[in-house]
Amino acid sequence: MKDFSLIRDSKSTRFPRDFMAALDKRITKVLMGTERMPEFQDATVKRTFAVFLNAFKDPSFRKNMDKDRRVEDLLLIFYSNATKELGKGKAPGDDSWKLMVDRHVALFLRLVSSILVHYDWAKDRPELAHRLATMEKKLLVHDQDLAAENQRNGGSGGKTVEVEVPRSYEVKDMPLVLVVSRIFAVGYSDVQADIDRYKAVWTEKAALQDLKTYQAHLSLMTKKTLNSDDFDTEEAYEAWKNQEIPDLSQMILAIIQSNPELAKSSPGSVPQFRPKSTLDPLSSGSRQGSVSSENSYVIDQPVDMSGLNISDDPNDTSSYTFIPTDPRATYRAILKEALTYDLADTELEPSEATSEDPPVKLLSKHSAELLNEIAVRWRIPQFSRLVLFLDVIRDKYIDQEISLDTLDAAFNYVKEPPPVDTKSRRMSQIPVQESLFDRSKWTIQDYALNQQILLALHDCLLRELYELMMCVYDPKPPGLGPVMYILESHIYDDPTFPGTEEDMDKFTEQLRQGLRQKAGEVYRELLAKHIPDTKEEWEFFHVIELGRAVVKLCERIQKRYRKNPEVMGASPMMCLVEKMFPAYAADARDLVARIMDVAHSKGEDVPVQDGFDLYKELVEIRRIHSDALPDKSFAFSIEDQLQDFVWRWIQMTDQNLIGWVENAFKADQFQIESQNPIPMDDERHSVSVVDIFRSFNQSIEQIVALNWDNDVQYAKFMTAVSKSIGIALARYCELVEQKFAKEMDRLTPEQEAAANQTRQEKWLSTVKDFYSQKENVEPFQFYPESLVKLNNIEYAMQQLDKLEREIGVDACAEVIQKYSPPPAQRPRNNNFVFTIKIIEAEDLKACDMNGLSDPYVVLGDEYQKRLAKTRVVYRNLNPRWDETIDITTNGPLNVVATIWDWDAMGDHDCVGRTSLKLDPSHFRDYMPREYWLDLDTQGRLLLRVSMEGERDDIQFYFGKSFRTLKRTERDMTRKITDKLSSFIGYKLSRRSLDALLNKGVASKVTNYLGNFRSARPMSVVQGPTQHDIASALGPLFTYFDENFAIMKQTLTDAAMIMVMTRLWKEALATIESLLVPPLSDKLSQQRPLTQQELDIVFKWLKMLFDFFHAVDEDGNVEGVPMDVLKSPKYHELQNLNFFYFEATEDLIRTSESMAAASARRQQEQTQRLNRMSAPPTMGHQFGGAAGLVGMPTRKHKTVMLSRNLGTMKKAKEEKRKEAQAEPNDDMILRILRMRPEAERYLKDRSRQKERLAAAQAAEMIVRQSLNSGGGRMTGPSRR
């Protein structure tokens, strides 16, 4: 095994990478009997190989073999398994089986060689192939057991035959030569060439001659050896000399004993001698000499030193063959190379780690043997070897080639006593032991060199200690223990160390100064690390990171040195705090201010989260600063400088809220999610409205969590968030209403088919429907998800009211009003953007033959410049447009609204005209307003006007949000009732009356051709029964029941009552249109109802009243309350029955008296307003005069009155008390439109109303202008 272990580092002696797989296959063939070589057919051989194969297939062993591929490992495991297998069943004294182990190992080597040859691997590995062949031959010599050392060379047992092996000049047989080859990286062939070239010179005789020459120089004191001048005392010299003389004698005797012929020959011819020294492959890498079991000094194979470039003068007859000119320097050079090689050797196993010492690597066993052999042959003293070793260690440590652990191991290496050979008879070993540690017996050169080594290492270690102390503020500083241990154990304890106390005190002072400087440097490093060089790159995040680094470092240092606060008289913690905290406080103040300035100059936003983190970090640092340095105040006010971050976050929240609302809306299926079979009212909503209010609450909680220590700023923050919530709610309302409108406006299959008809088909269908009086009205089926959307709006109002109470809106407004100083007078704004929404019109004049109109609205300014035009709504006297326009003006502007009737042929007819003055002074509160503008003919137009800009008031924002929700709820409810009202109009119509009275088609045609003829006598027509009258509305009630059932399952109770109330108003309007035509100065084509027909209509009204009131058997009202059903319109219809059949002359007289009374009331009201110098009245105005003023015609619902559900409920109650029908002659005039004899009176009355309206409008404009005055644009400032 030694043959392989000595060259194990060579790549050419390792197995190829794929060898193990090939070996597995070949051994398998041996076991299966398919191996082609006949010597493997023996059963015993197969059994041995089988046992080995089991061990070879072990995963851990196979993994190591695939990785290392060493021959000795594979051979050892085969040898071990073969020994166990062949030794089974043998007697204790029977050794005959051991020869069989050699044969099987030889066969295994033969199999390995065969695999190498088969795969052409032997060409690339000649050394391995040669070693395998040689070892196989040795194992098979006389079939003897050559495996064990004690059985070779005439060992014990007497069963082996000693074989005379001839002298070999092969490098492979020279272990130390191989060591030199590896250390100096000389190739195998080059070393072999040198051996062959100088084998006649490097002989035993030359070695003997060197020793005799050295002995002669020592005896003659020629100073070519150590002499008395090299020692400090004569005693030391004599002690060394007394050790050297017997050593030389024993070495010469050993050479002569090994080759007796050298004693007979002359000094010039020394006979050859074969050495007996061997290497122990199991010894460790600790420092030991090359000591054999038989003799301490033997000659190994010649060692090639030609690689060291050591040459002697050929003319010097006293030169040595093996000893160089400067043995000390040469030994040091070889030692340095050997140590460098061993430290870099990855396969050299370090020493075993203990609880105190980590694993380290120094010299390997082979290198130690080589150096020991060199030192012995070159006569270098033991203490010189140790000093030179430390000298090499010093250079490597200073050059940072070795670590502190290696340095510590080196000191322990030289302090260990060399091993004593108990079998050696050398008496000089005891003096050698004493001279190692008695420095007085050293040479002067070694003593001085030792002091130089200690001083150099001491300075280097102090520098390293200083550097380590400069790293105490690092996150993971290196430990000080190893350096201090070496200083105390190996430097200061050494008696030859020349250091003084003054030097130590000086170093301590330098260390303190360095720590104080380092504290400042560490902060500057943190500053440079976390704060960029250019101010344009600075961010609050950098200040946050700097603050966190400062706090973390202080806490870490305090914890690290709590048991040992001072190191060599310096306190890292105090130096850090005194330097870092005041510096950070000042820098944080400047950095925050500079970052804010740079951000503003660049127009960029600082990350909001960085601001919040900075606030928390600065508050924490301020606390630590106060605890550590109570006498110093923090450099700046954190809240004042960082409030801008909260505003940034509020702005970001405002942007995100819209996205959250849109995402919640997109993900919502608008289904009710409830565990109850019948959901409660608070469960009849979908998830989107819950999600958006969860977002709102999180936005509020974020500000609350800051614990902002400034009430005024906190109130302002809440005001801004309230504004954002209002914007998000408006967006949600917009999305819900758009989708709701799309669902409500879907076409039926019949409507889609009609839309796809050609123009000719449409004309034919129209004519056919006209003559047949056919109206195909189908009930509209509502989707449950459409009704859920209406519930969502109601739920949103409830949640918003709850949020208003939780925030404390009134308290926030009070704080701002109390502590905020009045703002400076704002500059006058010269440009204003008005948003006008054209909503709807009511009771328009009929301009077409069918008693309807096709209206559209045109807006123009006072200079007749067109500003906008709406779409055309066909065949409707109560159209709804819901179109919005923007008008920009720099002052008051009169807007004229004209409603036209669209005609396919000819000019368009004017339906009516009105006007509105847009005065910015009327919109100082930036509230949108609604105006019911009376037309100059009949009817009125509803406009919603707002001016851009808002009051920065939390109560205003909540009021605006409530108002938006309420308007959305109203518009959605109107769309629901619009779908139902078409069916109401179909059932409550003349067609239904005719069908009920059994009028035929011929009668209808006759009535159509003779519109002004007298009707048939009532006595001829048989009246319908009560059952017939009720049956006529049966489909309508069934339709209501079906839709109400769906609504009842989905809508909340409040929403259900709201829909039914709106539907009741539509029913009243339909009955009104059935009784009388719209108000106009022209005669109407509509004929009056007969008494019988009138009775039927009022019976229908009573049935509808009872249906909507919905009183159950117990008298509980489940429908619309009584006070809502008995509205002013209901009372007008009841009064209509009183005037319907009166004579025309009586009706005219009654109209004239009512007109006079109305004129008196208007005059009295005008006089009262003039006395009070108040703005125009909010009450109902007569005729079209209200269209010329700048105020709403009805009491305005201000935003402040809509800031919560409580104020909205209060305003609604007041409105209901004021909503009483004023007596007027409109109903009489509408009855007179069906009386041909009243045609002239209608025109006269119309002109009278126009004159009165014009006078009223002029009066109101003058009064409003006087009330506005010159300062109307300034007004009270917003808070």
Q: Between 157 and 899, whose confidence is greater?
A: 899
Would you tell me the crossing angle of helices 19-32 and 98-118 to the nearest 10 degrees?
120
Is the pLDDT at 299 greater than 80? The verdict is no
CA distance 1184 to 1251: 10
Is the pLDDT at 129 greater than 80? The verdict is yes
Confidence of residue 389 (pLDDT cuts 50, 70, 90): very high
Mean pLDDT, to the nearest integer, of 615-639? 83
Q: What is the 3-state secondary structure (H, E, C) of 1234-1264?
A: CCHHHHHHHHHHHHHHHHHHHHHHHHHHHHH
- Identify the pLDDT of residue 1003: 45
- Identify the pLDDT of residue 1253: 67
Dihedral sign computed on CA atoms, order 393, 396, 402, 403: positive
- Residue type at 114 in one-letter notation: S
> Among residues 1101, 1099, 1096, 1079, which one has the least CA distance to residue 1231?
1079
Judged on CB neighbours under 10 Å (0-12, 13-18, 19+), 181 is: buried
| CA distances in angstroms from 458 to 398, 484, 491, 498, listed in the order given | 11, 11, 7, 10
Is the pLDDT at 427 greater than 50? The verdict is no
How many alpha carbons fall within 13 Å on the CB side of residue 1142?
20
Q: Between 76 and 8, whose confidence is greater?
A: 76
Confidence of residue 180 (pLDDT cuts 50, 70, 90): very high
Is the pLDDT at 620 greater than 80? The verdict is yes
CA distance 1057 to 1119: 6
Is the pLDDT at 472 greater than 70? The verdict is yes
Residue-wise burial string across 10-31, b where 16 or more C-beta atoms lie within 10 A, e elsewhere: beebbbbeebeebbeebbeebe
Residue-wise burial string across 593-602, b where 16 or more C-beta atoms lie within 10 A, e elsewhere: eebbebbeee
Which residues partner with 585 through β-bridges?
Answer: none
Is the pLDDT at 342 greater than 50? The verdict is yes
> Among residues 148, 137, 136, which one has the least CA distance to residue 112?
136
- Identify the pLDDT of residue 452: 93
Q: What pLDDT digit, counting tens, does each position of 786-803 carry?
A: 889 999 999 999 999 999
- Identify the pLDDT of residue 385: 92
Q: What pLDDT digit, counting tens, does each position of 2-36 carry?
A: 454 444 445 567 888 888 899 889 999 888 888 88
Is the pLDDT at 81 greater than 70? The verdict is yes
Mean of the per-residue pLDDT values of the chain:
78
Q: What pLDDT digit, counting tens, does each position of 102-121 carry?
A: 888 889 899 999 998 888 88
**What is the percent of the chain where pLDDT is above 70?**
77
CA distance 1225 to 1079: 10
Is the pLDDT at 874 greater than 80? The verdict is no
Is the pLDDT at 1075 greater than 50? The verdict is yes
Is the Cβ–Cβ distance between 1141 and 1071 less than 8 Å? no
CA distance 471 to 211: 57
CB atoms within 10 A of CB 411: 16
Confidence of residue 831 (pLDDT cuts 50, 70, 90): low
> Among residues 1234, 1258, 1005, which one has the least CA distance to residue 1136?
1234
Is the pLDDT at 1102 greater than 80? The verdict is yes
- Identify the pLDDT of residue 1081: 78
**685 Cβ contact list (under 8 Å, min separation 6):** 672, 788, 791, 792, 794, 795
Mean pLDDT, to the nearest integer, of 1056-1074? 87
- Identify the pLDDT of residue 1182: 32
- Identify the pLDDT of residue 1274: 36
Dihedral sign computed on CA atoms, order 289, 292, 296, 300: negative
CA dihedral 963, 968, 970, 976 (to 10 degrees): -170
**What is the percent of the chain where pLDDT is above 90?**
14
Radius of gyration over every alpha carbon of the chain, rounded to an integer in angstroms: 58
Would you tell me the crossing angle of helices 188-198 and 175-183 to the nearest 10 degrees?
130
Residue-wise burial string across 320-341, b where 16 or more C-beta atoms lie within 10 A, e elsewhere: bbbbbeebbebbbbbbbbbbeb
- Identify the pLDDT of residue 751: 62
Confidence of residue 458 (pLDDT cuts 50, 70, 90): very high
Least confident of 48-57, 344-353, 372-381, 966-975: 344-353
> Among residues 1084, 1074, 1216, which one has the least CA distance to residue 1136?
1074
Least confident of 349-358, 952-961, 1001-1010, 1211-1220: 1001-1010
Domain boundaries, the chain: 2-165, 181-277+290-351+358-482, 519-636
- Identify the pLDDT of residue 896: 94
Is the Cβ–Cβ distance between 1203 and 959 less than 8 Å? yes
Confidence of residue 1205 (pLDDT cuts 50, 70, 90): low
Q: Between 1220 and 274, whose confidence is greater?
A: 1220
- Residue type at 197 in one-letter notation: R
Mean pLDDT, to the nearest integer, of 836-848? 87
Residue showing tokens 């051709």: 1009
Is the pLDDT at 1020 greater than 70? The verdict is no
Mean pLDDT, to the nearest integer, of 975-991? 80
CA distance 25 to 370: 42
CA angle at 1112 for the pair 1109 and 1113, rounded to the nearest 5°: 145
Mean pLDDT, to the nearest integer, of 197-219? 89
- Identify the pLDDT of residue 638: 80
State CA 701 to chain mean position distance: 22
> Among residues 745, 1267, 764, 851, which one has the least CA distance to residue 1074?
851
Confidence of residue 291 (pLDDT cuts 50, 70, 90): very low
Residue showing tokens 């080759």: 259
Q: What pLDDT digit, counting tens, does each position of 494-534 carry?
A: 888 888 888 888 888 888 888 888 888 888 888 888 888 88
**768 Cβ contact list (under 8 Å, min separation 6):** 774
Confidence of residue 708 (pLDDT cuts 50, 70, 90): confident
CA distance 121 to 515: 64
Q: What pLDDT digit, counting tens, does each position of 560-598 carry?
A: 888 878 777 777 888 888 888 889 999 998 998 888 888
Six token digits for residue 633: 């105040």
CA distance 201 to 428: 32
CA distance 232 to 442: 8
Six token digits for residue 1134: 């009841």
- Identify the pLDDT of residue 286: 36
Confidence of residue 895 (pLDDT cuts 50, 70, 90): very high
Which residues partner with 901 through β-bridges?
Answer: 855, 909
Does residue 172 come out as left (phi exceeding 0), alpha (psi in the -120 to 50 range) or beta? alpha
Q: Coil, helix or strand for 398?
A: helix
Mean pLDDT, to the nearest integer, of 524-551? 85
- Identify the pLDDT of residue 1159: 79
Is the pLDDT at 359 greater than 60? The verdict is yes
- Identify the pLDDT of residue 457: 93
CB atoms within 10 A of CB 2: 13
> E-assigned strands of 872-927?
880-889, 893-901, 909-918
Mean pLDDT, to the nearest integer, of 441-454? 92
CA distance 125 to 879: 105
Six token digits for residue 736: 């819900």
